[in-house]
């Protein structure tokens, strides 16, 4: 083999090894603190308590490492601009199955998935759940929540803030 071909083969191997090493260096983001608020979803009467993921670090961390969510608890990811439908969420280092609803700029559901934890230590092996439609918000709840409560495409999320004990969404949205 000529020295030029040898150099090309060596460069190709080094590039492959380097790109694999870079992919393997992705680290789980540090734990974050999240503000909480109440939302109303679709025709559901019970307000939901959600943690707000507003910063890049909060978006990256999300619900990683959580062992449970309460029955009417979740996380609302808010982005400053509409995101492409080709960008999605993954379940790397997420321990519990989740439902996700992608919401347009008006807070209306445009796509949902039930997402399963990814058991791989390699984030590149984890599935991405991309909605195929542009979105500005994403709501994660326990897996099965949307089916159990008949949440559908077009249902809307409305932030209602502080809720008194016993208040229902029909009262809060008047």
Residues 129-164 pLDDT 10s: 999 999 999 999 999 999 999 999 999 999 999 999
How is domain 35-172 classified at the architecture level of CATH?
Answer: Sandwich (2.60)
Q: Which two tokens stand for residue 135?
A: 């979105």
Which residue has better confidence, 4 or 160?
Answer: 160
- pLDDT score, position 2: 61
Judge whether 24 and 59 are in contact, CB under 8 Å: no
With residue 4 as reference, give the H or E element that holds it. helix 3-24
Q: Residues 6 or more apart from 157 whose CB is under 8 A from it?
A: 39, 40, 41, 76, 101, 103, 107, 109, 137, 139
Mean pLDDT of 63-92: 96
Q: Is the pLDDT of residue 82 over 70?
A: yes
Average pLDDT over residues 42-59: 96
Q: Does residue 108 have a pLDDT over 70?
A: yes
Tell me: pLDDT of 14 over 50.
no
pTM of the model: 0.84
């Amino acid at each position: 083999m000529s020295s030029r071909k040898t150099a090309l083969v060596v460069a190709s191997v080094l590039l492959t090894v380097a790109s694999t090493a870079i992919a393997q260096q992705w680290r789980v983001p540090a734990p974050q603190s999240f503000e909480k608020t109440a939302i109303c979803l679709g025709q559901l009467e019970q307000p939901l308590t959600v943690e707000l993921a507003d910063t890049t670090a909060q978006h990256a961390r999300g619900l990683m490492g959580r062992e449970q969510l309460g029955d009417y608890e979740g996380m609302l990811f808010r982005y400053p601009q509409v995101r492409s439908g080709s960008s999605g969420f993954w379940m790397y280092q997420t321990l519990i199955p989740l439902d996700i609803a992608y919401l347009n700029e008006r807070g209306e559901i445009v796509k949902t998935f039930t997402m399963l934890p990814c058991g791989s230590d390699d984030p590149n092996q984890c599935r991405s759940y991309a909605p195929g439609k542009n979105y500005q918000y994403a709501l994660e709840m326990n897996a099965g929540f949307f089916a159990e409560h008949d949440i559908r495409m077009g249902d809307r999320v409305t932030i209602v803030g502080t809720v008194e004990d016993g208040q229902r969404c029909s009262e809060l949205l008047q």
